[in-house]
């Protein structure tokens, strides 16, 4: 039932309430829910474009904590102008080397990130963590493997690996080309190589990473990365700062539950989202938006207000409407965002 209703939302999206790229994500995610019969990893010699997309303009590296540095993407959605630079790339710089948390949306973005990293340290990259399977978080794997060899592990949840090796990987690779007018050309699919789950630790000499997974949140297979000694948590897309997440595979209740467990188990002093600024305020921003939306939808379902009326109920909540002006892509996406929450509330209540 959920997939059918979400399919209806997708149909509405195609009629014009959503950006084209998001409408495409809706249908592709439904497809991606079915594992591919065969891995869809491409043979670069046969299928990749001959031409490589242009160099990505340098973005500054910001220090978040003693071991954590971040390149912040100014935009929230992929365009030809931003060449797919829509999500942050985070480096943990430690005694035993550098670990990358989310590698960006293309070979060129990864190359830009490596240029910035090398202004800071000549230490090698010794691991990548892909927080989930949306392409802006892992298509850059190619650039890091080109620069540092393929001898280091690329960590992800098993569900993320399955998605990238299946239809979802090909979908994101091809879509990023389309959305950026081929600016990401030359990027090859390099899937994660090691499955990790809640509790997995990566010792790096002077700092330890601990991974967290508490079931479905932004997707069914998110990994949050705690930089234990710095009291920092990289949350991928579990939380965002002034951005609207793609919740097609997500759960509002699951996200709120995951956030509470991360607070309880990590006691962080800074959150690092993959979209927007790092810091403490992302927690309250995201949590209050999600609570506002989900609780409004529960109210709407209990009052027998139909799906079409849920947005009006949600916009009466100041936790929701108060974020409209500062959030990128609000107008085009809030309707669908609320619809997904309504369907989850409906399923939860009946």
For binding to Zn ion (CB under 5 A), which residues are involved?
134, 237
Q: For residue 51, give the nearest of 229, 228, 214, 186 by alpha carbon.
A: 186
Query: Which is nearer to Zn ion, 344 or 346 (by Cβ)?
Result: 344
CB of 249 to Zn ion, least distance (A): 9
Query: Which is nearer to Zn ion, 237 or 241 (by Cβ)?
Result: 237
CB of 219 to Zn ion, least distance (A): 7
The set of residues, in sequence order, having a beta carbon less than 8 Å from that of 46 and lying 6+ positions away, is none
- Give, rounded to a whole angstrom, the gap between the first and last alpha carbons of the chain: 12
CB of 159 to Zn ion, least distance (A): 13
CB of 136 to Zn ion, least distance (A): 7
The set of residues, in sequence order, having a beta carbon less than 8 Å from that of 17 and lying 6+ positions away, is 332, 335, 336
Query: Which is nearer to Zn ion, 91 or 172 (by Cβ)?
Result: 172
CA distance 114 to 112: 5
CB of 186 to Zn ion, least distance (A): 23
Query: Which is nearer to Zn ion, 76 or 335 (by Cβ)?
Result: 76
Query: Which is nearer to Zn ion, 237 or 295 (by Cβ)?
Result: 237
The set of residues, in sequence order, having a beta carbon less than 8 Å from that of 93 and lying 6+ positions away, is 67, 68, 69, 120, 121, 123
CA distance 210 to 216: 19
Residue 58 carries which DSSP code? P
């Amino acid at each position: 039932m959920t997939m059918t209703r979400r399919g209806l939302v997708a149909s509405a999206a195609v009629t014009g309430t959503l950006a084209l790229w998001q409408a495409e994500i809706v249908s592709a995610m439904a497809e991606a829910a079915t594992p591919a019969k065969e891995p869809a990893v491409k043979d670069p010699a046969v299928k990749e474009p001959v031409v490589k997309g242009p160099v990505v303009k340098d973005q500054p590296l910001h220090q978040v904590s003693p071991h954590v540095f971040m390149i912040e993407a100014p935009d929230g959605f992929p365009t030809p102008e931003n060449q797919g630079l829509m999500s942050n790339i985070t480096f943990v710089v430690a005694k035993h080397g550098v670990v990358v948390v989310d590698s960006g949306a293309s070979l060129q973005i990864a190359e830009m990130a490596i240029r910035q990293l090398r202004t800071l340290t000549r230490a090698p990259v010794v691991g990548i963590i892909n927080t989930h399977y949306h392409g802006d978080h892992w298509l850059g794997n190619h650039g890091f493997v080109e620069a540092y060899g393929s001898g280091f592990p690329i960590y992800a949840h098993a569900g993320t690996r399955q998605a990238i090796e299946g239809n979802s990987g090909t979908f994101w690779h091809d879509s990023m080309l389309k959305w950026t007018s081929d600016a990401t050309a030359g990027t090859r699919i390099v899937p994660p190589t090691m499955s990790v789950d809640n509790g997995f630790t990566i010792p790096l000499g002077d700092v330890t990473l601990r991974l967290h997974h508490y079931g479905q949140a932004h997707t069914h297979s998110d990994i949050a990365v705690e930089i234990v000694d710095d009291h920092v948590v990289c949350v991928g897309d579990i939380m965002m700062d002034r951005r609207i997440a793609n919740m097609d595979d997500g759960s509002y209740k699951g996200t709120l539950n995951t956030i509470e467990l991360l607070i309880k188990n990590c006691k962080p002093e800074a959150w690092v989202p993959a979209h927007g600024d790092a810091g403490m305020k992302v927690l309250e921003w995201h949590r209050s938006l999600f609570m506002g939306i989900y609780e409004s939808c529960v109210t709407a379902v209990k009052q027998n207000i139909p799906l079409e009326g849920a947005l009006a109920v949600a916009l009466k909540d100041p936790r929701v409407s108060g974020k409209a002006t500062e959030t990128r892509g609000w107008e085009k996406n809030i309707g669908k965002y609320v619809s997904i929450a309504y369907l989850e509330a409906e399923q939860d209540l009946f």
